[in-house]
Chains A and B, each alone.
Chain A
Amino acid sequence: MTKIGTKLGFGRKKKPEGWNRPPVIEQTSEGELLEVAMGPHHPSTHGVFRMNLALDGERVIRLKPEFGYLHRNHEKLGEGQSYLASMPYTDRLDYLCSLTNNWAYALAVEKLTGQQVPERAEYLRVILSELTRFQNHAGTIGFLMQDMGCSGTPLMYAFREREKILDLFEELTGSRMMCNYMRFGGCRVDATPAWLDATRKVVAGLPAFLDEFEALLRSNEILMARTQGVGILPPDLAVNAGITGPLLRASGVNYDIRKVDHYGIYDRFNFKVPLGDHGDVYDRFMIRMLEMRESLKILDQALKEIPGGPVVDPKAKIRGFRPKPGEAYGRIESPKGELGFYLISDGGPNPYRYRVRPPSLINLTVLEDMSLGQNVADVVLILGSVDIVMGEVDR
């Protein structure tokens, strides 16, 4: 009997027994293991997340993540109400990046109904989601430093810039975080020329912030000592576990849905996908730094090329539409990874099935593999480098 792998000609070496399971770290001390419940109210767990650790001295022997403390029944709620009514709830999934969540959901419904999106709306979506990516990555790095014990400074610098971006969001969408901006077949309101000018001004100021941030952190010896070689995620494990986003690219796997799928109009922009080499916490930090630079490149191009015209398809109905029976999966590269919405329609005004593929939850599944054999203090750092938002993990 030929094995599937050899038949397809993958040419892979035979994997040792249990290669895709977490390695077993042997206990070295003579005493008993110490079990620690870290969370759900631990300040470093980014919300209500709990890790059950088994410790041998300072070393982690076992790690069991526990979540569900923030479960809000998002998917079932989506099945009980109209397509439009789920849109504001998607803001509350990953509450730091509401605009990318909106886009993923709008993309899924547009695939289901076959709606077209006007040019200007596509450009606005790209501008807003790249701004979202920028503020999310800046915030993530700030919080990672906070977890490391670098109390305040980098986080405050990051939030200073985030505040400017959130002001832009508020001016356009009416809300800083719960934007509820995108609609099926376009965007809700049009951007004024004044808003575009303000955005250009903010974007022009961001490279200076990145230079400052890099000077502050990039070659800092303490940061390098704490993060290099810590929490290594091997590329084959990352691929097998379905990891996406900066976490996957830090392990050196070239996979960015903006490049793979070309959703929206991403094929028109010239940008690179930064890749890591070691897959450790430092690489994840640097990947986010470099991705912010690439986001600025996209923003510059999009703000230069944005055309006039309508911002929403005039034929689009926002309420009371019934898509034909069928299914659709819309996915985008959210700042945290592949965010997908899977919808099944049975021809009614509500989706028959509504499912979210949350990047945070799936990226958390390798937390134990990254943490085994590390110190407890490093587990905090590793969790910080995964970049989770509990609203998305528990839904």
Chain B
Amino acid sequence: MLGEGILKGLAETARNFVGSYVSKERLTTVEYPEQRIAPIEATRDFPFLVYDGKDWDAGLRCVACQICEKECPPKCIFIEKSKDKKPDAVGKQQFYPARFDIDISVCMSCQICVEVCPFDAIKMNTEFELSTTDRFGGLLLDRQQLAKSNEYYHEIHPTEASGVDARLAAERAAAEAKAKAAAEAAAAKAAAAAASSAAKPAGGEA
């Protein structure tokens, strides 16, 4: 019969139309500013810098190694290395970024900076309400605007952040153990040197 296919299709649309009033899971629209859907944990948009402790300036994990600046595909990161050094998250004396800018109007959210960072200093944010009236200055984020606490990182990516913390703690413990061993070795060496120097004059006298 001509028109049978059309009628079959219409039955299908009617079923969907009525179904949308019956079944809750068919109503997928969310009234955005008032209602929000729960964010997905792996979501990413733009990078931020992680700091430990209370003071963002002192606690930045970034050591200005500039790997992310080099690897960034659209080249949206600009880093200026400091002249002096300060202790990093593991306790080693390191440089720090005197200037760290990310132009998020250029950034394409690819996450390569996060992958190549050996210090777990740069991570992806999930904040998406970033509209600004200043087209150039408002989207060029500096060091202070990029710095976010480790607690904030735990809040947005809990599983990933705890993995990073465990790894950093292990590294710190290893570094401490190494430093302790080195200190002990140095102490032993100093003691031996002292003993030998003590023995020497004695020998000289003899």
Give A residues with C-beta under 8 Å from B.
81-82, 84-89, 91, 153, 157, 160, 163, 167, 170-175, 178, 180, 188-189, 212, 215-224, 318-319
Q: Which residue of B lies closest to A219 (CB)?
A: B5
Residues of A with C-beta under 8 A to B108: 88, 178
Q: Which residue of B lies closest to A88 (CB)?
A: B110
Interface 9-mer from B8-16, B135-143, B173-181, B188-196: B8-16
Q: Is B127 an interface residue (CB 8 A)?
A: no
The distance from the CB of A202 to the nearest CB of chain B, in whole angstroms, is: 13
The 4 A-B pairs at the shortest CB distance, nearest first, are namely A88-B110, A219-B5, A85-B73, A174-B42
Is A216 a contact partner of B112 (Cβ separation < 8 A)?
Answer: no
Q: Is B30 an interface residue (CB 8 A)?
A: no
The distance from the CB of A191 to the nearest CB of chain B, in whole angstroms, is: 11
Residues of A with C-beta under 8 A to B6: 220-222
Residues of B in contact (CB 8 Å), total 29
In addition to A85-B71, A174-B111, A215-B9, 10 A-B residue pairs with Cβ atoms within 8 Å of each other are A81-B73, A85-B73, A87-B110, A170-B43, A216-B9, A216-B13, A221-B4, A221-B5, A318-B115, A319-B116
Give B residues with C-beta under 8 Å from A.
2-6, 8-9, 11-13, 16, 28, 40-44, 67, 71-73, 108-112, 115-116, 124
Report how far A81 CA is from B73 CA in the complex, Å. 7
Q: Which of B12, B109, B110, B115 contacts A215 (CB 8 A)?
A: B12
The distance from the CB of A223 to the nearest CB of chain B, in whole angstroms, is: 8
The distance from the CB of A294 to the nearest CB of chain B, in whole angstroms, is: 23
Residues of B with C-beta under 8 A to A180: 110-112
How many contacts A-B (CB < 8 Å)? 79
Is B112 a contact partner of A88 (Cβ separation < 8 A)?
Answer: yes
Residues of A with C-beta under 8 A to B124: 174
Q: Which of A91, A171, A223 contacts B42 (CB 8 A)?
A: A171
Is B12 a contact partner of A173 (Cβ separation < 8 A)?
Answer: no
Is B16 a contact partner of A157 (Cβ separation < 8 A)?
Answer: yes
The distance from the CB of B126 to the nearest CB of chain A, in whole angstroms, is: 10
Q: Which residue of B lies closest to A81 (CB)?
A: B73
Report how far A153 CA is from B13 CA in the complex, Å. 8
Is A171 a contact partner of B8 (Cβ separation < 8 A)?
Answer: no
The distance from the CB of B180 to the nearest CB of chain A, in whole angstroms, is: 30
Report how far A104 CA is from B180 CA in the complex, Å. 50
Report how far A174 CA is from B9 CA in the complex, Å. 37
Is A178 a contact partner of B109 (Cβ separation < 8 A)?
Answer: yes
The distance from the CB of A249 to the nearest CB of chain B, in whole angstroms, is: 24
The distance from the CB of A355 to the nearest CB of chain B, in whole angstroms, is: 18
